[in-house]
Amino acid sequence: MAASLRALRRRIRSTQSTKKIFSAQELIAGARIVRAQARVEASKPYAREITRVLSALASSASLDHPLLTERQNPKRAAVLVITSDRGFAGSYNVNVLRRTEELLSLLRQEGKEPVLYVVGRKGETYYSFRDREMAQTFTGFSEQPRYEDAQAVGSALIDVFTAGIDDEDGGAGADGVLGVDELHIVFTEFRSLLSQVPVAKRMAPLEVEEVEEFDYEREDREHGVTTGDSGVPTSYEFEPSAEGLLDALLPKYVTTRIYAAMLEAAASESASRRRAMKSASDNAEELAKNLSRQANQARQAEITQEISEIVGGADALVSSNAGD
Amino acid sequence: MATLQVELVAVERKIWSGEAERVIARTTEGELGVLPGHAPLLGQLADGGVVTIRVAGGEDVVVAAHGGFLSVSDKGVSILAETAEISTEIDVERAREALRRAESEGDDPESIAAARRAQSRLQAAGASATA
């Protein structure tokens, strides 16, 4: 009995100290969400401007840039997966990886060979544990991605995409480098503090996407700008040529989208971590409560037993004295 | 007097926005000045370039912008840059240090780009390469 009481007390102590760790993690993640959301917001003006410029360009230039044209008979597709570096984030990584698996099997069904590019240590371990080949991995920045990180990823992907232009029948083309014909990205979209959804998107060949059209218009209204004349396309002058500009802009646009995805993923990561840590510390508290109830019971049982032993002993003494 | 609505955005944040009398920038084709009423234009900024925004009132905002684009429309001017720094925020000593480091690293494309960035920072801050 005494041993089990000691064991219970030890468990209570260890539960309480893990609970401290969980709630510290929860607080850290909470602070990080706010910062990550601020960074998502801060990156929006650029994304909006580059989209505006690109759509202006798209209306004037002939769009036969390799990043825009659909390849005939695509054979290989690069898939960029954004996971976290650290665990303790609930189902965050599992969800992204499951979404990735769906995309991979879809690509295989379409007769395309997927090539994996992984961001984050968790994704890296997941695939290396399963002996799956990864073309390249990028780690160490999942919680606070910088633009340079997105650039490194973006240039690797654009390189392999351009290398795929001359590939024929699954073999390397004239440049001797086996490239890819499509670029996909899987990341976790930050919808709100409570809902983060893993999404898969195609980045290349790309369609120029309107960045939050709704906010766009509202902002115009707030600034008192009338959008009455927006129906008429303005004819731009280009320096250098429209094609030259497109060459320079498109890779930047792809990088911007990767950067935006990374920022969203970072915000989602912190949000899921906070949620996971919140339920973990709640559970730890519950556990500690149950354990201390058990410990109290054990303590009372011990006392009762001791008393009954004493009483029993006294009785025995009395009866033995009476027998004399 | 007519003014330009200028927006200067870098990837990570909006750097500056406001009314201006004129914007001077260097594109890959050459130096360019934009006054109110300029024809719509899209230009690629030269690497390691400096953009000067003359604010209504005669003051100059000088910015070191890298990897940027300039877009002039009837609504105003927007300057997009991968990184941009306003001259008053530039740490001259650090830029010099970066320039020295980049120059000593040899001539691979990355350190050349780093050297250019450092040079344009110094130029924007109005400082010379040596102390």
pLDDT at A97 exceeding the cut of 90:
yes
User: In the structure, what pLDDT confidence band is assigned to residue A47 with cuts at 50, 70 and 90?
Assistant: confident
- Mean local confidence (pLDDT), B77-97: 83
Residue B24 has phi, psi (to 5 degrees) of -120, 130
The reported pLDDT for the residue numbered A211 is 44
Characterize A141-172 residue by residue with b for buried, 16 or more Cβ atoms within 10 angstroms of its Cβ, and e for exposed: bbbebebebbbbbbebbbebbbbbeebeeeee
Q: Which residue would you say has higher pLDDT here, B116 or A162?
A: A162
pLDDT at A3 exceeding the cut of 70:
no
The reported pLDDT for the residue numbered A216 is 42
Cα separation, B51 vs B53, whole angstroms: 7
Residue with tokens 């709630």: A23
Q: How far does the CA of residue A132 sit from the closest CA of chain B (Å)?
A: 32
User: In the structure, what pLDDT confidence band is assigned to residue A208 with cuts at 50, 70 and 90?
Assistant: low
pLDDT at B92 exceeding the cut of 60:
yes
Is A147 in Cβ contact with B40 (below 8 Å)? Answer: no
Cα separation, A4 vs A35, whole angstroms: 47
Nearest neighbour of B9 by CB, restricted to A46, A147, A239: A46
- Say if B39 is an interface residue toward chain A (CB within 8 Å): yes
pLDDT in tens, B25-43: 888 888 888 988 888 888 8
Most confidently modeled range among A72-81, A233-242, B41-50, B118-127: A72-81
The reported pLDDT for the residue numbered A267 is 94
Nearest neighbour of B11 by CB, restricted to A229, A248, A256: A256
Is B67 in Cβ contact with A49 (below 8 Å)? Answer: no
Q: What percent of chain A has pLDDT over 70?
A: 85
CA-CA-CA-CA torsion sign (A222, A228, A229, A232) = positive
Segment among A140-144, B88-92, B106-110, B121-125 with least mean pLDDT: B106-110
pLDDT in tens, A219-251: 444 444 444 444 445 677 887 887 888 888 888
Q: Tell which phi-psi region holds residue A181, choosing left (phi > 0), alpha (psi between -120 and 50) or beta.
A: alpha
Q: Which long-range contacts (CB under 8 A, 24 or more apart) does B86-92 make?
A: B86/B15, B86/B16, B86/B61, B86/B62, B86/B124, B87/B61, B87/B62, B87/B63, B87/B124, B87/B125, B87/B126, B90/B64, B90/B121, B90/B122, B90/B124, B90/B125, B92/B122, B92/B125, B92/B127
The DSSP result for A11-37, as a single string, is HHHHHHHHHHHHHHHHHHHHHHHHHHH
Q: Which residue would you say has higher pLDDT here, A17 or A65?
A: A17
- Say if B131 is an interface residue toward chain A (CB within 8 Å): no
The reported pLDDT for the residue numbered B37 is 86
- Mean local confidence (pLDDT), B48-58: 82
Rg (CA), chain B: 15
Nearest neighbour of A236 by CB, restricted to B10, B41, B78: B41
The reported pLDDT for the residue numbered A157 is 92
Chain A residues closer than 8 Å to B45 by CB: none
Per DSSP bridges, beta strands A182-190 and A76-82 are parallel
Is A248 in Cβ contact with B44 (below 8 Å)? Answer: yes
Q: Which residue would you say has higher pLDDT here, A235 or B72?
A: B72
| Residue A286 burial (CB count, 10 A) | 12
Cα separation, B68 vs B76, whole angstroms: 17
Closest CA relative to residue A233, chosen from A55, A46, A50, A47: A55
Is B39 in Cβ contact with A237 (below 8 Å)? Answer: yes
- Say if B110 is an interface residue toward chain A (CB within 8 Å): no
Under 8 Å between Cβ of B122 and B95: yes
Is A43 in Cβ contact with B12 (below 8 Å)? Answer: yes
- CB contacts < 8 A, A to B, total 86
Is A52 in Cβ contact with B32 (below 8 Å)? Answer: no
Is B13 in Cβ contact with A43 (below 8 Å)? Answer: yes
Residue with tokens 């799956």: A132
Is B13 in Cβ contact with A42 (below 8 Å)? Answer: yes
Q: Hey, of A48, A219, A239, A256, which one would you mutate to test binding to chain B, going by the most B CBs within 10 A of its CB? A: A239
Q: What percent of chain B has pLDDT over 90?
A: 0
| Residue A285 burial (CB count, 10 A) | 15
Sheet holding A113-119, edge to edge: A136-138, A113-119, A76-82, A182-190, A196-204
| Residue B12 burial (CB count, 10 A) | 17
pLDDT at A56 exceeding the cut of 80:
no
The reported pLDDT for the residue numbered B4 is 87
Q: Hey, of A236, A241, A255, which one would you mutate to test binding to chain B, going by the most B CBs within 10 A of its CB? A: A236
pLDDT in tens, A178-203: 888 889 999 999 998 888 999 998 88
Q: Hey, of B41, B42, B44, B73, which one would you mutate to test binding to chain A, going by the most A CBs within 10 A of its CB? A: B42
Residue with tokens 């879809």: A106
Residue A87 has phi, psi (to 5 degrees) of -85, -145
Q: Hey, of A35, A43, A46, A230, which one would you mutate to test binding to chain B, going by the most B CBs within 10 A of its CB? A: A46
Report CA-CA distances (Å) from A4 to A13, A291, A296, A302: 14, 11, 11, 10
Q: Which residue would you say has higher pLDDT here, A125 or B96?
A: A125
Q: At what angle do helices A147-163 and A242-323 cross, to 10 degrees?
A: 120
Q: What is the set of domains in chain B, with CATH numbers? A: 4-87 (2.60.15.10), 91-125 (no CATH)
Q: How far does the CA of residue A77 sit from the closest CA of chain B (Å)?
A: 28
Q: How far does the CA of residue B59 sit from the closest CA of chain A (Å)?
A: 25
pLDDT at A96 exceeding the cut of 80:
yes
Q: How far does the CA of residue A73 sit from the closest CA of chain B (Å)?
A: 34
Chain B residues closer than 8 Å to A151 by CB: 82
Per DSSP bridges, beta strands B14-27 and B49-55 are antiparallel
Q: Supply the ipTM of this predicted assembly.
A: 0.79
